[in-house]
Chains A and B, each alone.
Chain A
Amino acid sequence: MAAVATCDSVAGSTGSAVATASKRNVTSFQKRGPRASGTNDSGPRLVSIAGTRPSVRNGQLLVSTGLPALDQLLGGGLAVGTVLLIEEDKYNIYSPLLFKYFLAEGIVNGHTLLVASAKEDPANILQELPAPLLDDKCKKEFDEDVYNHKTPESNIKMKIAWRYQLLPKMEIGPVSSSRFGHYYDASKRMPQELIEASNWHGFFLPEKISSTLKVEPCSLTPGYTKLLQFIQNIIYEEGFDGSNPQKKQRNILRIGIQNLGSPLWGDDICCAENGGNSHSLTKFLYVLRGLLRTSLSACIITMPTHLIQNKAIIARVTNLSDIVVGLESFIGSERETNPLYKDYHGLIHIRQIPRLNNLICDESDVKDLAFKLKRKLFTIEAGVQWHDLSSLQPRLLGSSNSPTSASLAAGITGAHQHAQLIFVFLLETGFHHVGKAGLELLTSGDSSTSASQSAGITGMSHCARPRALYFKENKSKVGARQLLETREEHLSSRLLILTQAERLCMGRRFFTAFHIFNELPCKGDCICLQTCQTQ
């Protein structure tokens, strides 16, 4: 077998060693793993841990959320030692999926799991994890590994690699895929043997709370206190905290907490606006953050924020979490029947990205994100593809928050990957300037002004005064300077107001130009340029 072949002299066995390597993809000449530079200066250099990679931006060790698209949006992944907070959608249909992806990714990479729930038994949650879509090569590898484990030959030491013996073996779990981030098939269950082979701890609140209560160390609700103690125990006993070096191979602890803050946890923030222990949740998060920061662990929390009565608590919770991602499903809302959204199941909002070891953060330029649950995959797509714009116009009326919103309408149209905006101009004259700037009118209507037609404006709405016009950005990007000139021409008599520029997902130049519009003072009558929200 392969191991025997490598027992020959070094020179003689080179060929066979290469052959072995290519066949099994397990060789002693291993690539050194990612190094965490700077972040963990207390301990020795981090050796490679399966399913992790260092961040390009700040050197933090990252783990995957189990959803490669989300990883990309969060700047590469979830940094070890941070909290990812998922704001649940209204009927809690899609957030458990993200939760399960996170746990499944842990199982595939051989990470230790800690699942906490007040609603379901963690064992049941694990049974329902989605199956990983490993490609065939990985699968074959996996089978071979299992086989090799059983043969006594695998115990023979490979002499060629004597000086590499001290290096840790690359494989940790039975699944040898050390790729970062996997895809999962939501229609299938995780194979039983993978779950059995994994190392996990469950925290089921009804079980824990029935045991005798000790004196509360702090003013947290008993459920939170128990959970904190449980987590701290696991971290300490299994050596995930950097201060006590782990005896065996270093590993990551993935913590998942379901429906935190819901009444099942014994918290009353969902029931009353000013509950007696409204600080329980924030205190819990603070101590949890402290635990995570000093250990090799990452945490995902799903929270029913729409149930929390007091908006101030949500703001505080956001400040105490590192990454906040909100899910907004279309189920039950009027958007479900809106043709604009017919291809999607909801919107995903990236509310907060942490600044770790850095002054800046990796913020994605694309803010319009929608998700869709296909038969097997959960996908996130940038930019909402809006097709038939004319049919949308009445639906969107009144969607902006300006006082004159009745006459304003908006929409986002996606020609390419990015959404394009239709602007509403409230103006009395001077269309041609806009036309010159490269904006093209979409809807057709009253065509009284010949000047506007010659300038490429095809129509306007029938609103009285001020009149509303719908513009679409031309395919040729508008130069910032050109827009500035337009603005100069308008300054004498018109005004430009732009709100919600975050919805603008256009070329950079164009984008910034509008900020100028907004910031410079202008006098007299105004053009009100308003992009409306997608809502």
Chain B
Amino acid sequence: MFVELNNLLNTTPDRAEQGKLTLLCDAKTDGSFLVHHFLSFYLKANCKVCFVALIQSFSHYSIVGQKLGVSLTMARERGQLVFLEGLKSAVDVVFQAQKEPQPLQFLREANAGNLKPLFEFVREALKPVDSGEARWTYPVLLVDDLSVLLSLGMGAVAVLDFIHYCRATVCWELKGNMVVLVHDSGDAEDEENDILLNGLSHQSHLILRAEGLATGFCRDVHGQLRILWRRPSQSTAQRDQSFTYQYKIQDKSVSFFAKGMSPAVL
């Protein structure tokens, strides 16, 4: 959790809005620091988190999580975190025949399968437990990243359907939050990816877009973050407002500053 980013978004783990879809997007840079931020943010907010990690292994997230002050291993043991390790799951699905359908069952199917098993997994993971008092405040679904599903042969429409189902369940029914990451393919002209990105931009409440500097690599400024709020009923001045900050990623935190105000040059 990066405190500076919380300040920019005007939120804290104690008073986060519910029922929102946040879209993380990265273009010409790596936006994974945003995923780490939201993972630690919601774990600290005492939410029940379902993390669909398709691109990295558990140990990677766990070690970064430690640096940010959360223990993923403990959260998983407590039952607060449900972690789907896509890489491991894919190997199991491809090499071992399993009886019950796996979340990534579509990998085994010759024709384009669907993401229903994955949705079932999410719903099962975030289903409220009746026993005793509520231990966790509200459920959160985190996906890193959706572009991988396209690489694995799913169509953009199937992924959008999946997100729609998840929104209906997590955001609306359970009053929880969703955070998803999508790469912006930029000039690669990945049509499917563009459909997905545009479709999600249309639905989400908050868009965080990490971009590499147009001027190229820089040691002291790693990129810029654009924050786009899409609040429904606000004064026109605040609606669809966009803020742009530059950032520098450090070992355990990220510092944000106004454009051109990098401490390295001032």
Contact = CB atoms under 8 A, between A and B. Distances in A.
Interface of A: 38-41, 58, 216-219, 228-229, 232, 279, 282-283, 286-287, 289-291, 293-294, 311-312, 314-316, 319-320, 355-361, 363, 365, 367, 480, 484, 498-504, 508-509, 511-516, 518-520
A186 B53 CA distance: 43
B4 to A, nearest CB: 14
Nearest to A42: B59
Which residue of A40, A290, A516 has the most chain B CB atoms within 10 A of its CB atom? A290
Nearest to B67: A359
Contact of A312 (B190, B216, B220, B264): B190
Interface stretch (B30-38, B119-127, B133-141, B157-165): B30-38
Interface stretch (B145-153, B196-204, B225-233, B235-243): B145-153
Nearest to A480: B265
Q: Which of A232, A316, A514 has the most CB of B within 10 A?
A: A316
Given A219-B111, A355-B30, A360-B251, A294 B221 contact: no
Among A314, A357, A358, chain B packs the most CB atoms within 10 A around the CB of: A357
Given A356-B60, A502-B215, A516 B264 contact: no
B156 to A, nearest CB: 12
A367 B111 contact: no
A279 B151 contact: yes
A259 B212 CA distance: 31
9 tightest A-B CB contacts, nearest first:
A502-B216, A312-B190, A501-B215, A315-B188, A290-B87, A279-B153, A282-B151, A290-B91, A357-B63
A501 B90 contact: no
Nearest to B218: A515
Given A289-B87, A294-B88, A515-B262, 16 more contacts: A40-B59, A219-B111, A291-B91, A294-B87, A311-B188, A316-B147, A319-B55, A319-B148, A320-B151, A359-B67, A359-B251, A360-B251, A501-B213, A501-B216, A501-B218, A508-B219
Nearest to A499: B215
Interface residues of B, number: 60
User: Taking each of B64, B86, B151, B218, which has the highest tally of chain A beta carbons within 10 Å of its own beta carbon?
Assistant: B151
Contact of A502 (B86, B97, B217): B217
Nearest to A320: B151
B173 interface: no
A499 B64 contact: no
B129 interface: no
Interface in B97-117: 97, 107-111
Nearest to B91: A290
A96 to B, nearest CB: 27
B221 A293 contact: no
B153 A219 contact: yes
A218 B92 CA distance: 12
B259 interface: yes
A286 B97 CA distance: 18
Contacts, number: 165
Interface of B: 30, 32-33, 36, 55, 57, 59-60, 63-64, 67, 86-88, 90-91, 94-95, 97, 107-111, 147-148, 150-153, 183, 185-193, 213-221, 246, 249-252, 254, 259-260, 262, 264-265
Contacts of B109: 218-219
B69 to A, nearest CB: 13
A359 B188 contact: no
A78 B265 CA distance: 34
A512 B221 contact: yes
Contacts of A283: 107, 151-153
Nearest to B97: A217
A509 B107 CA distance: 50
B110 A365 contact: no
A312 B193 contact: yes
Which of B88, B95, B150, B183 has most A Cβ within 10 Å? B95
Nearest to B63: A357
Given A293-B87, A357-B63, A512 B265 contact: yes
Contact of B265 (A286, A312, A513): A513
A511 B186 CA distance: 25
